[in-house]
């Protein structure tokens, strides 16, 4: 069944879009990453213009993240204070990202820049997560502890000022890294149409030493607001939010998020990180291939 998208100005298969929403919602509930890192490339692969994919891709994350957050909150996996700290930086970052997209559309380089950003960030983050998760699994097989946090372990973050206590995460650390992380995630949300969880979750785990389950739940919490803010800003400044497309993705995403949250509880933390790393690397690799591969329909421009 074909449905015409008024903003994207293309017809799409409704069942395909619903399926994409369900799949991304499942990942949102399982990994706490919002799923935007997968949604935007999938929409681009389906023929949706990059500007519309970026703006609309963050819209369905709101619904799937709400249901995923509720499921995680019931399991006491959401640090509200840490989430609000991340959100403070994310709001400023979102505004900057939307303005940058507006500039890129004027220069005509938005397709190239969005794809390059996905390849770079997904390669770096996915590679780091793959290495750490495989090391944790190997340690567990040899009977060694694989916990990400050690009570006596400190890094440069612990020396920063403006410290506060995040009780749910059992942290006493500076507010500077969470705010800076929020700014980065908000910026990426505006430019790439992502909730930022694919960067936020590993940074919370590896840098701030937040327990994996709490990192996932807290990431979902902030994705709700960052995605909502970004969607409003994209609609106001760039007029690239396709409500028809966003609505179909949202319907599928709500159903998938609950199933993902249940599935995530059945896997060990290191296995969750391994699966997420494979997904991130896979999508980044696909986009990298698209950048260097010959176009399926080559064309030339001539003058008469």
The most confident of 70-74, 86-90, 275-279, 294-298, by mean pLDDT:
86-90
pLDDT at 302: 46
How many Å separate Cα 186 from the centre of its chain? 10
Which pTM was predicted?
A: 0.67
Average pLDDT, integer, range 38-64: 78
> Within the chain, where are the H helices?
14-31, 36-45, 50-57, 59-74, 80-107, 110-141, 176-192, 197-206, 212-237, 243-264, 269-292
Q: Which helix (H) or strand (E) holds 174?
A: strand 171-174
Annotate 95-105 with b (16+ C-beta within 10 A) or e (fewer): bebbeebbebe
Q: Which two tokens stand for residue 93?
A: 């970052």
Question: Binning pLDDT at 50, 70 and 90, where does residue 150 land?
Answer: very low
Per the prediction, the chain carries an average pLDDT of 77
- What percent of the chain is modeled with pLDDT above 70? 80
**Relative orientation angle of helices 36-45 and 59-74, to the nearest 10 degrees:** 150
Closest CA to 219 of 231, 233, 234, 205: 205
The most confident of 28-32, 160-164, 177-181, 287-291, by mean pLDDT:
177-181
pLDDT at 11: 87
pLDDT at 65: 75
pLDDT of 237 strictly over 80 = yes
On the 0-12 / 13-18 / 19+ scale of CB atoms within 10 A, 273 is buried
Average pLDDT, integer, range 22-50: 74
Average pLDDT, integer, range 1-25: 83
pLDDT at 102: 83
pLDDT at 198: 67
Q: Which two tokens stand for residue 29?
A: 């509930």
The most confident of 52-56, 77-81, 102-106, 114-118, by mean pLDDT:
77-81
User: Do 260 and 70 touch, CB atoms closer than 8 A?
Assistant: no
Among the residue ranges 137-146, 204-213, 215-224, the one predicted with the least confidence is 137-146
User: Do 280 and 129 touch, CB atoms closer than 8 A?
Assistant: yes
Average pLDDT, integer, range 5-12: 83
pLDDT at 252: 79
Those residues with Cβ within 8 angstroms of residue 202's Cβ, 6 or more apart along the chain or in another chain: 125, 128, 129, 273
Length of the chain: 304
Average pLDDT, integer, range 150-154: 48
pLDDT at 200: 78
Question: Binning pLDDT at 50, 70 and 90, where does residue 148 land?
Answer: very low
pLDDT at 171: 82
């Amino acid at each position: 069944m074909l449905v015409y998208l008024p903003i994207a100005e293309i017809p799409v298969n409704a069942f395909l879009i619903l399926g994409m929403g369900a799949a991304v919602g499942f990942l949102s509930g399982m990994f706490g990453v919002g799923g935007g890192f997968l949604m935007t490339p999938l929409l681009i692969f389906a023929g949706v213009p990059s500007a519309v994919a970026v703006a609309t891709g963050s819209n369905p994350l709101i619904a799937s993240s709400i249901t995923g957050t509720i499921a995680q909150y019931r399991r006491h996996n959401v640090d509200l204070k840490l989430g609000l700290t991340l959100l403070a930086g994310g709001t400023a970052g979102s505004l900057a990202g939307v303005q940058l997209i507006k500039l890129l559309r004027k220069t005509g380089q938005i397709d190239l820049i969005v794809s390059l950003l996905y390849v770079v960030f997904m390669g770096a983050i996915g590679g780091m997560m793959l290495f750490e998760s495989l090391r944790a699994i190997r340690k567990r097989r040899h009977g060694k502890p694989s916990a990400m946090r050690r009570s006596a372990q400190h890094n440069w973050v612990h020396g920063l000022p403006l410290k506060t206590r995040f009780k749910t995460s059992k942290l006493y650390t500076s507010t500077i890294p969470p705010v800076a992380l929020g700014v980065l995630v908000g910026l990426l949300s505006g430019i790439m149409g992502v909730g930022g969880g694919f960067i936020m979750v590993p940074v919370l785990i590896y840098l701030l030493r937040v327990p994996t389950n709490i990192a996932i739940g807290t990431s979902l919490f902030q994705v709700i607001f960052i995605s909502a803010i970004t969607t409003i800003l994209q609609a106001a400044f760039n007029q690239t939010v396709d409500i028809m497309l966003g609505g179909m993705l949202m319907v599928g995403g709500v159903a998938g998020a609950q199933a993902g949250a249940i599935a995530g509880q059945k896997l060990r933390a290191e296995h969750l990180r391994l699966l997420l790393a494979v997904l991130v690397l896979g999508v980044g690799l696909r986009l990298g291939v698209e950048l260097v591969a010959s176009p399926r329909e080559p064309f030339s421009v001539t003058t008469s």
